[in-house]
């Protein structure tokens, strides 16, 4: 199976693209620049409300002006991607040249695989280090520090030949962040932000077993810092995987509800991006295709056929590459995750379930998908909370200004008043 070529540089990590990062947004120049020599593709792709023109947003007009600014972003991508049923059987071949350089491999498995025979079917060697990642909760900075200590002890001071991740977003993010800490001093919290990682991480191979988060193709590893009450990723080119193996056989054992709620995250990210004001051609193109694939999967008779599991893996991969701005769903979802510790995917669905006035078409479509796949949301999750908890839910949602502005404009607070938002939570 040949590795798929990359069609286009990614655009990701726009300020505010991750609602979890709203507290540390980068300055927004209004322009995003690609390093691309193809004359057919604009080298400066404006990101601003559609009603504005490039010039008015300060985007350089002529080619010469653009070159003079010399601030085009040199966008990085995942190096190699192998896609298809059975692709994991080539893992040993992929690992061979890395092992030839010396060093152990470090394998991160979702704790779901503790009792699975998957590790035994992989080219794990006796000397390798195996880490089971507890994905019950989202990764934390303290958790990453602990996993890093465990890995360093297993490696006895040496660097590994490769890090490999088998799991969903939590496991992949853990692998990505531990990788950074093997070659950079300090603790995980030191690298929450943008471009703080200075040294390249060891070679990383991502093998998602659960599709939807886009972690496999993003340049961030999202971490909860409980002391700072801050959910923020290590955003860096060094955080990215070097190789992906997208094998739908790996997701065959995922429980149906988890498959749906995690998988639909891609649809959510992408429709929010396409519904917003901050747009560009690359993100739109990737997001449109990811949504198309998501529809093919979730509107089919059985979302978990081998063909559909492969389509969802590709949709998730494209969605991770797109990483456009999100909208109202993700901030409301973040409120649920912060206050009720709800998993991201199902929280997204609860959020959309009470946003029928803002996203009528998508609300109708996702509710239809859930009915089609026999997945449901238990009612009354916010029925008996205290006033203080309702206020916390509101605060944890409304803090995400960039996505909310993207969706509703700068006056979003006039729509999303405390009464309005709390009433939505009470309807869940």
Q: Between 138 and 265, whose beta carbon lies closer to Fe ion?
A: 265
Phi then psi for 131, rounded to 5 degrees? -125, 125
Question: CB of residue 320 vs Fe ion: minimum separation in angstroms?
Answer: 10
Per CB under 5 A, the segment of 26-34, 131-139, 263-271, 390-398 that binds Fe ion is: 263-271
- In b/e form, how buried is each residue of 47-66, taking b as 16+ CB within 10 angstroms? bbbeeeebeeeebbeeeeeb
Q: Between 66 and 343, whose beta carbon lies closer to Fe ion?
A: 343
Residue with the CB atom nearest Fe ion in the bound state: 265
Q: Between 95 and 222, whose beta carbon lies closer to Fe ion?
A: 222
Q: Between 216 and 265, whose beta carbon lies closer to Fe ion?
A: 265
The contact pattern for Fe ion, residues 297-316, with x = CB under 5 A and - = no contact, is --------------------
Instruction: Tell me which of 173, 242, 265, 365 binds Fe ion, using CB under 5 A.
Output: 265
Q: Between 350 and 390, whose beta carbon lies closer to Fe ion?
A: 350
Question: What is the sign, positive or negative, of the torsion defined by CA atoms of 316, 320, 322, 325?
Answer: positive
Q: Between 184 and 337, whose beta carbon lies closer to Fe ion?
A: 337
Question: CB of residue 344 vs Fe ion: minimum separation in angstroms?
Answer: 6
d(CA 246, CA 83): 5
d(CA 131, CA 413): 44
Question: CB of residue 29 vs Fe ion: minimum separation in angstroms?
Answer: 25
Give the chain's end-to-end CA distance (angstroms, integer): 45
Q: Between 189 and 265, whose beta carbon lies closer to Fe ion?
A: 265
Judge contact between 262 and 298, C-beta under 8 A. Answer: no
d(CA 390, CA 196): 35
Question: CB of residue 261 vs Fe ion: minimum separation in angstroms?
Answer: 11
d(CA 162, CA 183): 13
Residue whose tokens read 């006035």 = 357
Total residue length of the chain: 428
Cα→Cα distances 79→49, 178, 180, 290, 320, Å: 32, 19, 17, 20, 14
Per CB under 5 A, the segment of 83-91, 222-230, 235-243, 261-269 that binds Fe ion is: 261-269
Question: CB of residue 399 vs Fe ion: minimum separation in angstroms?
Answer: 16
Question: CB of residue 251 vs Fe ion: minimum separation in angstroms?
Answer: 18
Per CB under 5 A, the segment of 49-57, 85-93, 248-256, 262-270 that binds Fe ion is: 262-270
How many binding residues for Fe ion (CB under 5 A)?
A: 1
Q: State the residues that interact with Fe ion by CB under 5 A.
A: 265
């Amino acid at each position: 199976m040949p590795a798929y070529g990359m069609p286009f540089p990614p655009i990701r990590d726009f300020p505010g693209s991750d609602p979890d990062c709203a507290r540390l947004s980068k300055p927004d120049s209004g322009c995003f620049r690609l390093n691309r020599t193809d004359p057919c593709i604009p080298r400066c792709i404006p990101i601003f409300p559609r009603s504005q023109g490039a010039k008015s947003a300060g985007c350089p007009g002529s080619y010469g002006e653009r070159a003079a600014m010399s601030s085009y972003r040199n966008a990085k991508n995942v190096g190699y991607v192998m896609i298809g049923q059975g692709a994991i059987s080539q893992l040993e071949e992929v690992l061979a040249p890395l092992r030839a350089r010396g060093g152990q491999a470090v394998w991160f498995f979702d704790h779901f695989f503790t009792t699975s025979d998957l590790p035994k079917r992989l080219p794990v060697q006796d000397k390798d280090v195996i880490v089971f990642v507890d994905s019950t909760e989202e990764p934390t900075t303290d958790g990453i520090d602990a996993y890093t200590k465990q890995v360093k002890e297993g490696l006895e001071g040496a660097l590994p030949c490769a890090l490999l991740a088998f799991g969903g977003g939590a496991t992949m993010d853990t692998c990505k962040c531990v990788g950074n800490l093997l070659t950079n001093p300090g603790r995980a919290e030191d690298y929450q932000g943008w471009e703080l990682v200075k040294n390249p991480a060891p070679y990383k191979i991502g093998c998602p077993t659960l599709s939807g988060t886009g972690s496999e193709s993003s340049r961030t590893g999202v971490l909860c810092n409980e002391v700072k009450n801050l959910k923020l990723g290590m955003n860096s080119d060094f955080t990215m995987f070097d190789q992906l193996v997208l094998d739908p056989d790996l997701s065959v054992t995922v429980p149906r509800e988890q498959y749906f709620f995690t998988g639909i995250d891609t649809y959510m990210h992408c429709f929010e991006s396409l519904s917003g004001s901050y747009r560009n051609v690359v993100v739109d193109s990737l997001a449109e295709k990811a949504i198309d694939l998501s529809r093919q999967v979730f509107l089919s008779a059985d979302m978990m056929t081998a063909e559909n599991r492969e389509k969802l893996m590709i949709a998730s991969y494209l969605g991770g590459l797109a990483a456009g701005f999100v909208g109202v769903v993700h901030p409301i979802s973040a409120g649920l995750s912060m206050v009720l510790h709800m998993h991201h995917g199902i929280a997204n669905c609860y959020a959309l379930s009470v946003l029928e006035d803002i996203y009528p078409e998508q609300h109708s479509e996702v509710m239809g998908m859930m009915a089609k796949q026999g997945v449901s949301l238990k009612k009354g999750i916010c029925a008996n909370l205290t006033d203080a908890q309702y206020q916390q839910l509101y605060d944890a949602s409304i803090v995400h200004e960039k996505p909310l502005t993207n969706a509703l404009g700068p006056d979003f607070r006039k729509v999303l008043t405390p009464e309005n938002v709390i009433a939505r939570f009470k309807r869940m």
